Amino acid sequence: MNKNIIKLVYSAVCIALAMVLPFLTAQIPQIGKALSPMHIPVFLCGFTCGWPWGLVVGIISPLLRSAIFGMPALFPDACAMAFELAAYGFLSGLLYKLFPKKTGYIYCTLILSMIGGRIVWGAARFVFSKIAGAQFSFAMFLAGGFTNAIPGIILHIVLIPLIVIALKKAKLVLND
């Protein structure tokens, strides 16, 4: 079967997961949103399908979820998330392809992608805040991108490499 068709199907599954996972984590009081459930399928798409697919899934997922379910709010949240998740999908796909295929590099790829995506999110929020005439300070960037995201950061560092390793063993990673 054509690899691009398989990548298209994987990407569609990742978009579907990005639509559904926030419903599951919303049931956890206080930390449900902080777990950043939409990020997981975008990272997985980047790792498994490569940067072009991860980038597109990252752009589409928050905007589609906002259009269908009204959450996250389209502006500025979903728009900023589209940039952030696009960076996650792009960086995880690109770095995974470039780095050696050893387990430790999965963690390096993930952490570098997380940092890059958060920087892109902060830049997008800053620009959108200027457009809306609102405030977005460096302290707000640190709180939104890092401090309040600690539960999600921990979850992603634990869960995503385990899934990537399992998919790799099952020969389901097509980003080679």
Residue 175: inside a domain? no
Residue 69: inside a domain? yes
Residue 80: inside a domain? yes
* pLDDT value, residue 94: 98
pLDDT along the chain (176 residues), means of 10: 94 98 87 91 98 98 97 95 98 97 96 98 97 94 93 97 97 90
What is the number of domains present in the chain? Answer: 1
* pLDDT value, residue 7: 97
Burial (CB < 10 A; 0-12, 13-18, 19+), residue 130, is exposed
CATH code, 158: 1.10.1760.20
* pLDDT value, residue 29: 76
User: How far from 51 is each of 47, 77, 113, CA to CA, in Å?
Assistant: 8, 23, 11
Rounded-to-integer distance, Cα 120 and Cα 102, Å: 27
Residue 176: inside a domain? no
Residue 56: inside a domain? yes
Residue 60: inside a domain? yes
pTM: 0.96
* pLDDT value, residue 18: 98
* pLDDT value, residue 84: 98
Residue 134: inside a domain? yes
Rounded-to-integer distance, Cα 11 and Cα 8, Å: 5
User: How far from 29 is each of 24, 153, 158, CA to CA, in Å?
Assistant: 11, 17, 21
Residue 151: inside a domain? yes
Name the residue range of residue 71's domain.
3-169
